[in-house]
Structure 1
């Protein structure tokens, strides 16, 4: 049989993931899809065995360097060692051989490492169907990821809402309970300050609840500005607030903080064409009063100190003293500020 000139371009439509090598094993042509895995110029003119490591099941035929007519397992010798599967066949009249690797690459590798698409495979190649499945899976995973992110965001928002006073934006009693429990478990020293607004009821009675809401929102701003990021402010009642000062137990420091808060509370709050005037009474306790601090006991003792401030004329701060407040509310001198 006379030899003929073999034009491999005719095979591109059927086997874009292929190469042609001569009987000496030297690559003479590289299909366009295979060239996306490694540049064609890096393969043409080189022996197939220099580009790939090749093994078969021992059933190959022929004397060529590459076993023919059997399944081959290949890996690139350099770069990403992508596993490939293929089969080589001879075209005796042209004295060349074709190594077809179509559907011989993992679709996951094809997409992840080389960004191959459906256009890189023959129209009848099953790889296209697999690509569609991979793309569909990727789309589902991405949608699931976004859904999980939205659910997590909704969960965080719901948890934040559950721990937040809607009117003032401060923490609520539930949040305060969690913070107190955590701090007590960690044995961190802290002060608990109970603030009750003075003359707030008269604002509600004379100007209405809208004015009272405006006052409460201003109080929240003041308390937020007078505390640090690792402190906590919670609204625990209509006009009651609890402040937790992390790692502050010095009484002089706490009196100073309380005085500054009361002074700011006594500044008039503009509302429509009038002004709202309030003050605040404060009771304080600290963890250093107790061998084993307990949240309920500390809140109770801060209440006792608060009652002393009310008893002595309001607009004052009192630090709890276990020797004085044991049944003798009102006998401990309170610090008067602002009035």
Structure 2
């Protein structure tokens, strides 16, 4: 062999140096190496590759454990990969895992045609680490893929934390929205939520939806409870009233606290004045049952004004509210503890 010196004449031939490496040494530098003889039999392999393939592979044909292909997928013998890049190696026992590598022919007359293949997991590294239980010790110290794996794990951790933060923010948003639409004492929807519900009911009615009843309920003798027993007693009464209203209404109905001792209800249809009357009588009877506060009875009742919104009646939100309010005062003037129904 002649070496050319760009600054001077040709130098005489010098002996080419030789380097002898044992499989153990190769395994420390290339834990995923594969050594094949010219017939394609496995002579040695790196410790990580042996861990993946399993024992008993030495001396057997590579085709029992690997499928060597080019990127286009055509089956080729090992000699076809000498000096080529982008060698695809698929594990026969685990076909979902592919490795990439480069093969070179080993010099020396004692084993002509022998190949040394250096492999890596490439984009399948994360999955391989989890599936085969690999650790940092299964890779060369200079393997940059480990650094990429750590970066991927850090990215996953950051994404998980961001997703958790997003969930917490969404829960906080829903909680804040719920608080904005709820009465803090009773937990019932507040006036804002009720107005939105009434608007929806009226719009559905205009599009041919079922009739509904709008009830305006005002507690009788509630001021006397506050004056005689104090506001904590009044709060106890309001909480109990909210409980009774929730128990007496159906799932699709709407119950809201819209003022100090005022409540509004929407009873879904089909519904008529007779059903509203029967419902109100039952409700008033329950509210007139004594409510105990520190052993002392709190006696109240309720006056109710109701209006029925019918399909095709041209119901308008403001008019429905005004009619229900007017019916409520008629109940008050008639002696309280009763319901007056106004048909729209």
Is this a same-fold pair by TM over 0.5?
yes
8 Å contact kept, 1:25–1:66: no
For residues 309-328 of structure 1, the aligned pairs below 5 Å read 309-322=331-344
Question: What corresponds to 2:230 in structure 1?
Answer: 208
TM-superposed CA distance for 1:10, in Å, is 3.0
- Residue equivalent to 2:249: 227
Alpha carbons of 1:185 and 1:101: their partners in 2 closer, same or farther (altered >3 Å)?
farther
Corresponding residue of 1:132: 150
Partner of 2:117: 99
> 1:142: how far off?
0.8
Structure 1 segment 1-339 matched on structure 2, within 5 A:
7-35=22-50, 39=54, 45-48=60-63, 51-55=66-70, 65-76=79-90, 79-93=94-108, 95=111, 96-102=114-120, 104-110=122-128, 116-187=134-205, 188-189=209-210, 190-288=212-310, 291-322=313-344
How many Å separate the matches in 1 of 2:99 and 2:50?
14
Cα distance change on mapping 1:308 and 1:64 into 2, 3 Å: closer
Deviation, 1:34, is 3.4
Aligned pair in 2 of structure 1 residues 172, 21: CA closer, same or farther (>3 Å)? same
Deviation at 1:75, TM superposition (A): 4.6
Structure 1 residues 183, 289: closer, same or farther in 2, change over 3 A?
Answer: closer
Once the 2 structures are TM-superposed, how far is the Cα of residue 91 of structure 1 from its aligned partner? 3.1
* TM-superposed deviation, 1:106: 4.1
Q: Does the 8 A contact of 2:91 with 2:97 survive in 1?
A: no
Paired residue secondary structure (1:270): strand
Q: For residues 131 and 184 of structure 1, what CA distance do their matches in structure 2 show?
A: 59
Per-residue deviation at 1:248? 3.9
Give CA-to-partner distance per residue, 1:279-329, whole Å, 9 cap, x none: 00111122217623232222221111111111111000111135xxxxxxx
The range that moved more, 218-227 or 241-250, is 241-250
Q: 1:176 and 1:260, CA in 2 relative to 1: closer, same or farther beyond 3 A?
A: same
What secondary structure is seen at the aligned counterpart in 2 of 1:267?
coil
1:255 counterpart SS class? helix
238-247 or 101-110, which moves further after superposition? 101-110
Match for residue 335 of structure 1? Answer: none
Give the C-alpha shift of residue 227 in structure 1.
Answer: 1.3
Local SS of the residue matching 2:79: coil
Larger deviation, residues 47-56 vs 177-186: 47-56
| Shift in Å, 1:244 | 1.3
1:10-53 deviations in whole A, cap 9, x for unaligned?
32222122322211123344434335655565897233497224
CA spacing shift, 1:252–1:37, aligned 2, 3 Å: farther
CA distance in 1: counterparts of 2:170 and 2:164, whole angstroms? 10
Which of structure 1's runs of 4+ aligned residues deviate more than 6 A? none
Consecutive unaligned residues of structure 1, counting only runs of 5 or more, are: 58-62, 323-339
Indicate if the aligned counterparts of 1:268 and 1:276 stay in contact, CA closer than 8 A.
yes
Coordinate RMSD, CA, aligned:
2.8
- Rg larger in 1 or in 2? 2
